[in-house]
Structure 1
């Protein structure tokens, strides 16, 4: 991917997609702080509890996501293609963190280092992240690829942590 960002990206309303563990929250937090815009993590909308075990009813989650996307400026990030596809029309930029599944699994292991390796929810999350390329449904690679390819405004695909870090540095220098 070319490094002509972010001058060519309209970061007014930025949507960030990618696998679990790809760095969406890390990137969104830094962009939102620098651009001084609200940041919405779709995990906090999708899940009722912190433990990621009880999903919010779909219509309620979509309603909350639409409210976040109705703001004038924002950064919204998440893996949930079914929610993202509802918000993509309001976005001025789409960033796809397209890291290798193995890198995402390793990132989750680092992030969750204090948790018990045998904990069911952690095992499920690691399995989920490891299946991104083959996973069917709106939260898998193929669905994210379709969203990315169908997005007609400014977009950027970042393939590894170094590209993500370089992008953050560029955003912080230019805006």
Structure 2
């Protein structure tokens, strides 16, 4: 998969950041984590204004090369027309929860916030909204450029090595 503007979507804990960092480094491209756009600088407690988040996402995608990753389908929808590649990490919820536990709290998350993230990750296929399995499936199905769906840690690791 040789693309210069790649989007990576998937559940919390699926490995989006891990994979994005490796792809960005390999292609000498910026890596943009949509968590840093969606949430204000003090962690995962206060979302940014929706219009501001959309503007920041569009600005990030204005360049010639980038890797943008995140769970937020409503932000991803803002940039799919600029992307030439889409990777969907469609891993099992239990694997995602285990990955989150392994990496621990990040970006100033509280204990309660960490537990909420674990719970959130476990509902990927049952929840609704733009960060759900169903929304990601729709993004993947309607994306017309190069795309790939990776379903487990082994596939993701193998893809990262290629």
- TM-score (norm: length of structure 2): 0.95
C-alpha separation in 2, matches of 1:113 and 1:12: 31
C-alpha separation in 1, matches of 2:30 and 2:105: 28
Mark the structure with the bigger radius of gyration.
1
Residue 133 (structure 1) aligns with: 125
Say whether residues 1:28 and 2:13 are aligned partners.
no
Q: Which runs of 5+ in 2 are unaligned?
A: none
Q: Which runs of 5+ in 1 are unaligned?
A: 1-5, 171-175
- TM-score (norm: length of structure 1): 0.88
Structure 1 residues 120 and 95, CA gap change in structure 2 (3 angstroms) = same
The correspondence for 1:89, drawn from 78, 81, 86, is 81
Say whether residues 1:73 and 2:65 are aligned partners.
yes
C-alpha separation in 2, matches of 1:50 and 1:113: 14
User: Per the alignment, in what secondary structure is the counterpart of residue 13 of structure 2?
Assistant: coil
Say whether residues 1:48 and 2:40 are aligned partners.
yes
The correspondence for 1:121, drawn from 101, 113, 127, is 113
C-alpha separation in 2, matches of 1:62 and 1:82: 8
Say whether residues 1:38 and 2:19 are aligned partners.
no
Q: 4+ runs of 1 displaced by more than 2 Å?
A: none
Residue 109 (structure 1) aligns with: 101
